[in-house]
Amino acid sequence: MIRILLADDHPVVRAGIRAMLETETDVQVVGEAATAEDAVARAAAGGIDLVLMDLQFPGAMQGAEATRRIRRDGSARVLVLTNYDTDADILGAIEAGASGYLLKDAPPGELAAAVRAAAAGESALAPGIASRLGASAAEPRLTAREAEVLALVAEGRSNRDIGRVLFLSEATVKSHLVHTFTKLGVGSRTAAVARGRELGAIRGG
């Protein structure tokens, strides 16, 4: 029996996923978490084989960080189930230790198969995501921090504001931007944002 923890801040989504999984004879939903912090604590308490993890939560901690902490403790495996499919989101989750990445519009059979694969420690990537990751390997790849800085640039933030949000010095922010400009082959903030969106490094807007 695969014991599942549902980590999603939307009760209706959790109810829908629970209803889908309860039709499977080898899967049991044993808990729910509405915040990333709750998911980490519940997984650490034991009795969980797999966490179905959303990426976006209210509050400071998000799904990728929760995934990293859960995997660091070795308490459970993690399968990301989200609406977000940018390369930055996918890479961030996989680098954090997620066994798989699935979108919420996946059919029930695909979800059940991914749950079994992830629980067994196998890779469970949604169709198309694996090929996208392979295709993007030859493209410029920003680090998670560089992508965070660029996303704030896209919001029109100054270096000082970005430093305040990310708890970095202004000099460190500038250093990240220099590396980002070099990787993307651009010479301005506007061009960096446009190229970052084109590559899927940050979300469009």
Residue 3 backbone phi and psi in degrees, to 5: -90, 120
Residue 82 backbone phi and psi in degrees, to 5: -150, 170
At the topology level of CATH, where does 144-199 sit?
Answer: Arc Repressor Mutant, subunit A (1.10.10)
**pLDDT bracket for residue 136 (50, 70, 90):** low
pLDDT digits (tens, 9 = 90+) for 170-194: 999 998 998 898 888 888 899 899 9
Which comes out higher in pLDDT, residue 87 or 12?
A: 12
Residue 144 has pLDDT above 90, yes or no: no
Residue 202 has pLDDT above 80, yes or no: yes
Residue 205 has pLDDT above 80, yes or no: no
**pLDDT bracket for residue 114 (50, 70, 90):** very high
Give the dihedral sign, CA 42/37/99/129. positive
Domain boundaries, the chain: 2-135, 144-199
- Can you identify the CATH homologous superfamily of domain 2-135? Response regulator (3.40.50.2300)
Question: Mean pLDDT of all residues in the chain?
Answer: 88
pLDDT digits (tens, 9 = 90+) for 49-98: 999 999 999 888 999 999 999 998 887 999 999 988 777 788 788 888 89
Per DSSP, what are the bridge partners of residue 110?
none
Which comes out higher in pLDDT, residue 35 or 88?
A: 35
Closest by Cα among 127, 185, 144, 153 to 55: 144
Per DSSP, what are the bridge partners of residue 32?
6
CA gap 178, 14 in Å, rounded: 42
Per DSSP, what are the bridge partners of residue 135?
none
**pLDDT bracket for residue 48 (50, 70, 90):** very high
